[in-house]
Amino acid sequence: MASRGRGSIEGQKLRRNRIARIAVAEGVISVAHLADEFGVSPMTVYRDVAALEELGLVTLVKGNVHASISSRSEASADFRLTQNREAKEAIAREAAALVPIGASIIVDDSTSCLYVLDKLLEQGPYYVITNSMLVAKKVAASTESRLQVLGGEYERWADSLTGTPVYSMIESLSVDFCFLSCSGIFRDACYHPYLSIAGIKSAMMHVAETKMLLVDHTKFERRSTHKFANLSDFDVVVTDSDTSLEIQATLKESVKKLHVAS
């Protein structure tokens, strides 16, 4: 049990992330149980839950917290950025080492790609094409790398652009590398809960010479609504060392190149 009290801003963020993860794991959990778990007052939990409701992560019904995130939905970009940081950092280091300076890369709105982008921008200039506003902001702050933003309708939860204009711009491109992630992998296929996002991922793959999938250990054995690719469609898959040996063995049979980051 955590020590009683509301604590620092950082402690508050950690507690809220844990509440969201507990709700996802349990499906539903009471405010009273959460207050006891974290050693805080029920009022503090209600404030935390209200903040999570604004992000679309949970809903509160009669003192019970229900998960809004499932295999059929996706968390906000801000929330996803805080999840599995160590694994994403390791994957990013491994993936960035595979890309020569000056290459053209197309990047989706996956938070895993943001970690890779940080490493790439440390290495040197690149030509980055993306529909992600988070990616665009990072590249715009770089003094050397070029940036092309795929325009379309803004999706606030993903902090990215979607729609017909994005597809039209992608179809006119030819790039060296494509970086993608997914919401889940099930039976050698990659899934995402939203058709519009799944379609953009598929379109990006079609215009890239080298297709790279970035997935941490939490993505395996998770199925969602829309399949956008088979694992065998990727030239490189990068995962972290917490991925089970059984899954790693399956990946080696399915993909062209597997890199396990540690």
Q: What is the CATH number of domain 78-261?
A: 3.40.50.1360
**Could you give the 3-state DSSP secondary structure of residue 22?**
helix
Burial class (CB in 10 A: 0-12, 13-18, 19+), 113: buried
pLDDT single digits (tens) 7-35: 577 788 888 888 887 876 666 789 999 99
Residue 111 has, within 13 A of its CA and on its CB side, a CA count of: 21
Q: What's the confidence (pLDDT) of residue 3?
A: 43
- Residues 6+ away with beta carbon under 8 Å from 245: none
**Could you give the 3-state DSSP secondary structure of residue 181?**
coil
Amino acid identity for residue 168 in this structure: S
Determine if the pTM surpasses 0.75. Answer: no
Spatial separation of the C-alpha atoms in residues 101 and 161, rounded to whole Å: 27
Helix, strand, coil percentages (3-state) for the chain, rounded to 5, are: 45, 25, 30
pLDDT single digits (tens) 161-205: 999 999 999 999 999 999 999 988 988 999 988 888 899 999 999
Domain boundaries, the chain: 9-69, 78-261
Q: What's the confidence (pLDDT) of residue 5?
A: 44
**Range 9-69 classified under CATH 1.10.10.10:** yes
Q: What's the confidence (pLDDT) of residue 184?
A: 87
Residue 17 has, within 13 A of its CA and on its CB side, a CA count of: 14
pLDDT single digits (tens) 34-80: 999 899 999 999 999 888 877 767 788 888 888 765 544 455 545 55
Q: How far is residue 142 from each of residues 4, 127, 262, measured CA to CA in Å?
A: 43, 11, 28
pLDDT single digits (tens) 129-172: 999 999 999 999 987 899 999 989 998 877 899 999 999 999 99
Place of tokens 């993608």: 180
Q: What is the DSSP string of 227-253?
A: EEEEGGG-SEEEEETTS-HHHHHHHHH
Amino acid identity for residue 75 in this structure: A
> Taking Cα atoms as reference points, which of 145, 149, 45, 153 lies closest to residue 104?
145
> Taking Cα atoms as reference points, which of 219, 210, 254, 209 lies closest to residue 239?
219
- The first and second tokens of residue 86, run together, are 């160590």
